[in-house]
Amino acid sequence: MDFFSRLDRREFVGTTAALIGAAALPTLLPQAAFAQSAAPQAGKDYMVLNKPASVEAPAGKIEVVEFFWYSCPHCNAFEPAFERWAKAVPADVVVHRVPVSFRDDFLPQQKLYYALEAMGKVDELHVKVFNAIHVEHLPINRDGTIIDWVAKQGVDKARFTETFNSFSVNAKARRATQLQDQYKVEGVPALGIAGRYYTDGQMSGNMDRALQTANFLIAQARKGT
């Protein structure tokens, strides 16, 4: 198992700066390392939820949720692979990102993601947020520093501030935390599939294999099994 495949919930006891310092830790293993492995097994490579989680995907679509935290070094390392995977999913798969909140001080970054989403800026700035935190080592983790950073990216500061503090963004952050709890997320990055299945790097062995597990579970959901 790749020990560095996720940031476990129990690790959230240090400061954000200390966690950012771990950004260079390896996350993904070469594809060949598990190309010949057996099919994923319930209870080992993934978990079947006792109670289905909420889904937003329309009927006939299979929802995949990526749980992440902007300050998580493993989420930063996983992002390019996840982005490539998300762009290649079949037409019946809907992919959502969901920022987690394991502590109250995660809320500003939850609101950052949903404010960017509301303003249609995710494609433009999502990866830049990761880069600012993990490469430039900027403290983008509080309301003020977030708003100032986004304004420096050419976004209207007043409009972003209003969106960031809006009822709808706060409501989405609350729903994100509820969904995180429904999926019993214990570390990030992690994946929820069809409101029924959960996997992460610890269960699958690493996040590259977690994507393979997700492909398997998408097929299971498609068959209704």
pLDDT of the residue at 186: 87
> CA 151, CA 156: separation in Å to the nearest integer?
6
Percent of the chain with pLDDT over 90: 80
Domain residue spans of the chain: 62-223
> CA 150, CA 214: separation in Å to the nearest integer?
33
Does residue 35 register a pLDDT over 60?
no
Arithmetic mean of pLDDT, 191-212: 95
pLDDT digits (tens, 9 = 90+) for 187-199: 999 999 999 999 9
pLDDT digits (tens, 9 = 90+) for 149-199: 999 999 999 999 999 999 999 999 999 999 999 999 989 999 999 999 999
Q: In DSSP terms, which residues pair with 199 in a beta bridge? A: 191
pLDDT digits (tens, 9 = 90+) for 111-149: 999 999 999 999 999 999 999 999 999 999 999 999 999
Place of tokens 């006792």: 50
Fold of 62-223: Glutaredoxin (3.40.30)
Cβ–Cβ < 8 Å for 45, 211: no
Residue scoring higher pLDDT (217 or 7): 217
